[in-house]
Structure 1
Amino acid sequence: MQAVLLIDFGSTYTKVTIVDLDTEEIVGTARAGTSIETNIMDGLKVALAQIPEPAGGWNFVRKLACSSAAGGLKMIASGLVKELTAEAARRAALGAGARVLQVFSYELTLQDLDKITVSKPDILLIAGGTDGGNKEILLKNAEMLCALPTSLPIVIAGNKAVSAQAADILRKHHDPVVVADNVMPELGVLAVESARLAIRDVFLTHIIKSKGLDKAEEFLERIMMPTPAAVLSAAELLAQGHGSERGMGELMIVDVGGATTDVHSIAKGDPSKPSVMLKGLPEPYAKRTVEGDLGMRYSSEALVEASGRRLFDYLGWTDEQVACQLGLCKENPWRIPQTEEEAKFDRAMGRMAVSLAVERHVGTVEVVYTPFGATYVQHGKDLTPLPVVIGTGGVLLHHPDALEILKGAVFNPEEPTLLKPQKASYYLDKEYILAAMGLLREVAPQVALRMMKKYVVKL
């Protein structure tokens, strides 16, 4: 057996997956509470002990991990124009697997610095100006950031004409300061890959130690990336394939968690009808959005508020019945439904989380009237022709009505301006292995791809 240990240090649970490279099978999975306050290895040892050891013990050929523990990778981004370089910086941070706390545009103010200090981000990403465009904003913001009371890791991804100069200014007060390519080298052109890689490098070399995760690296080879980046990497592999092994084509992954709902789409998202014009900043082929108010437990009250009357109409319940179930969620965020009423509530909450998160992820179309008549304008991705939607996360894995929950992603004729999938097939990550397969891709991509095609099952 060529056993590979794949670990996801989550904010609540440490999840362990052991796979055999020879048979391309899952040997075992387990989870235990993440012990970041003491020693992160404690939770890992508890999880590993749940999987029966072979005779002679484990002899892992690789030991890889990702992490969203200790708050995950928290970032703040800034740029010049809100809809352009600031938005490009935000997308670069999301693509790197970060939780974006705030996005600033134009010149930073003293109030902005106060917000940065209170937020305590792990990394700052500063952009501004196209290459050959505005120079002042990057330099002024670099000077301003030197007034922060503490040193922070900073990635610069702005106008290349002054990036080095901005780095010299920042290095007087901050460490490390890394220069990446401009996230928007030309007006309307998005180029986030260099910034994504720079963020990942800073995460690996500095953030892991600051969060106490380096204790695990004495046992592991290394913590490879933030957990959301591992899921996005798995999604890309599953969509595109590798070598002679074909992928599934364009797809969407909806990850419904206790605190957030993440949506990943691997698709161009160009207009599907010839009469529609595309407007706005280009969307990344591999796009991730995270909704902090759409969680099943920790943000359950916010989810009910965001869904408005839709949740009540779906359930046919009174305000008091919903309030009672919300109270149970707050009392025990780890609870699994024990009664038919609790299961019905979880199904409704899961469906609302999926529906709202996908609505925010997809593009929209609007009618614009011109002197030559009406025309249709698209903002964001058109995902109406998307063939595959994959569900993952606790409520989808444990609920008997996973398909009903996941169908919250489907196009609604009553909301025709939202470009949600119309005729997709639905799949389930039944063994919760997507993050693990994103890790395995780093060392055995074809094995990871074949295993996903085996364990991601059609509903």
Structure 2
Amino acid sequence: MSVHLLIDFGSTYTKVIAVDIEKEIVIGRSQAPTTVVTDVTIGLNNALSNLFKTCGIDATQIQDSYASSSAAGGLKMVAIGLVPELTLEAARRAALGAGAKVTCSYGFEINKQIVHEIESEQCDMILLCGGTDGGDQNVIVHNAKLLAESNIKSPILVAGNRTVTSQVSTILGEAGKKVYSAKNVLPSLDILDVEPAQKKIREIFIDHITKAKGLDKAQYLIGDVIIPTPKATLQAATLLADGTKNEPGIGSVIVVEVGGATTNIHSVIDNLPVTYQAIVKGLPETRVKRTVEGDLGIRYNAPTIYDHVGNEGFLTKLKTLLPSLDGEQIDIAKYVREISNNVGYVPANDVEFNLDIALAGFATSMAVQRHAGTVKKEWTVVGEVVVQQGKNFLKTENVIGTGGIFKYGLHPERVLRSALFSAETPWSLKPQEPKAYLDSNYILYGIGLLAEKYPDQALRIAKKYLKPTVL
């Protein structure tokens, strides 16, 4: 038996999945409360103990272990660029694609007040960009000087105008900052090159941040490499979409990840114009993309979702989900307030279970809408033209739901329906007729962890354990 452990240090629970690589099966899974505040190995050992008891295996049978983490807030980054729609957006995409949570972002020249804001954020890393190659030099140099004078201890990754990368790195290095550099994320206005920065972000995460979060204490059990959990999910999405030399993928994919604090969307699809004549505007889109909506978590941000939708909107949705519902049976606003104050609350009856589905559905709809591009008609000197802004997901082949709601929710396939194209928002390029899957075994992060070393086996395991569903 070739047993491999797939570990995720979550903000609430440490999860462990044991897989047999040779048989390509899941042997068992377990979880225990995460103990990153005290000693992360306590929660890990509790989860392992439970796993060994239920699966009938022991530590001597473990061939290898891999881990991801979103504990202690995950990988928190600040992005700094020049023009908000260009280099700053490129910086944000680089950070998000590396599995980070962008806690704040700033364009143009920063000032001392902004520096104080960054200091108070206590982020894990700063991504400093600005200027295309050969373009503006002054802003990134100005921003580097202010960061150099600050009390910021976080590593700083410089990925801006290559003409001044050495100068900017010297300014920061001479001030005692931990400074790294990568290729410009936006070398020209029509080229987005985020992969070198993402690779460097991962290296910095491994070298510095795992120690800062106490995760290095677990390295004797799991080896040296821990990656951010969202990065693992994005790697799984890429593997599923593209396949390997020996195992075909399933085609283009959107992964909807609904959580208590955020709703994340991961996608792997080429960006094609909606028509041959369409004019595509805006920053170039990468084939692999991730967005994080920090205002759409279904616990911490439930009141925000309620405010977006309104009581009537919630009531209409609930009656669709639960036709027998009497509007007097529940005070929706009260329930929403209560679960935001008690984020660990578990629904106790059909009405509450359906309210969770409604919350997740609204969060999904808004998150995918923000992730997707838009289309509109404009008049020009040559007549009416179709203008596309952002990414076209109309022909997406697959949509996958992952997160607690898809494991524990009542008929969670109803959440994924909200990811689809709607006549109510015909300008939003959301998927039209994809196949649908539920990650009811919560295995996607593990597939991403296996993807680099065992891609064929990881892909076949994913195909075996993702549950097809009808929307």
> After superposition, where does 1:53-202 map in structure 2 within 5 Å?
53-54=55-56, 57-202=59-204
Contact 2:6 2:67 in 1 (8 A): yes
Give 2:300's aligned amino acid: Y
1:326 aligned residue: 336
> After superposition, where does 1:437-448 map in structure 2 within 5 Å?
437-448=447-458
1:313 aligned residue: 316
How far does the alpha carbon of each residue in 1:47-94 deviate from its partner, in whole angstroms, 9 at most, with x for none? 112223536654211111111101110001111111111110010000
2:323 aligned residue: none
Number of equivalent positions: 459
How far does the alpha carbon of each residue in 1:20-47 deviate from its partner, in whole angstroms, 9 at most, with x for none? 1111100111111111111001111121
> After superposition, where does 1:32-71 map in structure 2 within 5 Å?
32-51=32-51, 52-54=54-56, 57-71=59-73
Give 1:365's aligned amino acid: V
2:236 counterpart SS class: helix
Give 2:10's aligned amino acid: G
Give 1:313's aligned amino acid: T
1:215 maps to which of 206, 209, 217 = 217
2:228 maps to which of 209, 216, 226 = 226
Contact 2:4 2:65 in 1 (8 A): yes
2:278 aligned residue: 276
Contact 1:154 1:174 in 2 (8 A): no
How far does the alpha carbon of each residue in 1:303-341 deviate from its partner, in whole angstroms, 9 at most, with x for none? 212333532331254796112322441454223322111
Give 1:338's aligned amino acid: A
1:348 aligned residue: 358
1:417 maps to which of 427, 433, 443 = 427
Please report how far the alpha carbon of residue 452 of structure 1 lies from its aligned counterpart in structure 2 after TM superposition: 0.6
Identity %: 42
Contact 2:16 2:48 in 1 (8 A): yes
Contact 1:272 1:385 in 2 (8 A): no
1:259 aligned residue: 261
List runs of 5+ in structure 2 lacking aligned partners: 320-326
> After superposition, where does 1:272-311 map in structure 2 within 5 Å?
272-308=274-310, 309-311=312-314
Partners of 2:445 and 2:249 in 1: how far apart?
A: 17
- When residues 56 and 451 of structure 1 are mapped into structure 2, their CA distance, relative to the original with a 3 A threshold, is closer
- When residues 56 and 46 of structure 1 are mapped into structure 2, their CA distance, relative to the original with a 3 A threshold, is closer
2:25 aligned residue: 25
- When residues 38 and 351 of structure 1 are mapped into structure 2, their CA distance, relative to the original with a 3 A threshold, is same
Contact 2:281 2:389 in 1 (8 A): yes
Contact 1:160 1:181 in 2 (8 A): yes
2:38 counterpart SS class: coil
In terms of fraction of residues, the more helix-rich structure is 2
Give me the TM-score of the superposition, normalised by structure 1: 0.97
- When residues 90 and 9 of structure 1 are mapped into structure 2, their CA distance, relative to the original with a 3 A threshold, is same
- When residues 447 and 85 of structure 1 are mapped into structure 2, their CA distance, relative to the original with a 3 A threshold, is same
- When residues 374 and 27 of structure 1 are mapped into structure 2, their CA distance, relative to the original with a 3 A threshold, is same
Give 1:315's aligned amino acid: L
1:161 counterpart SS class: helix
> After superposition, where does 1:420-459 map in structure 2 within 5 Å?
420-459=430-469
List runs of 5+ in structure 1 lacking aligned partners: none
Give me the TM-score of the superposition, normalised by structure 2: 0.94
Partners of 1:424 and 1:223 in 2: how far apart?
A: 35
Partners of 1:413 and 1:55 in 2: how far apart?
A: 52
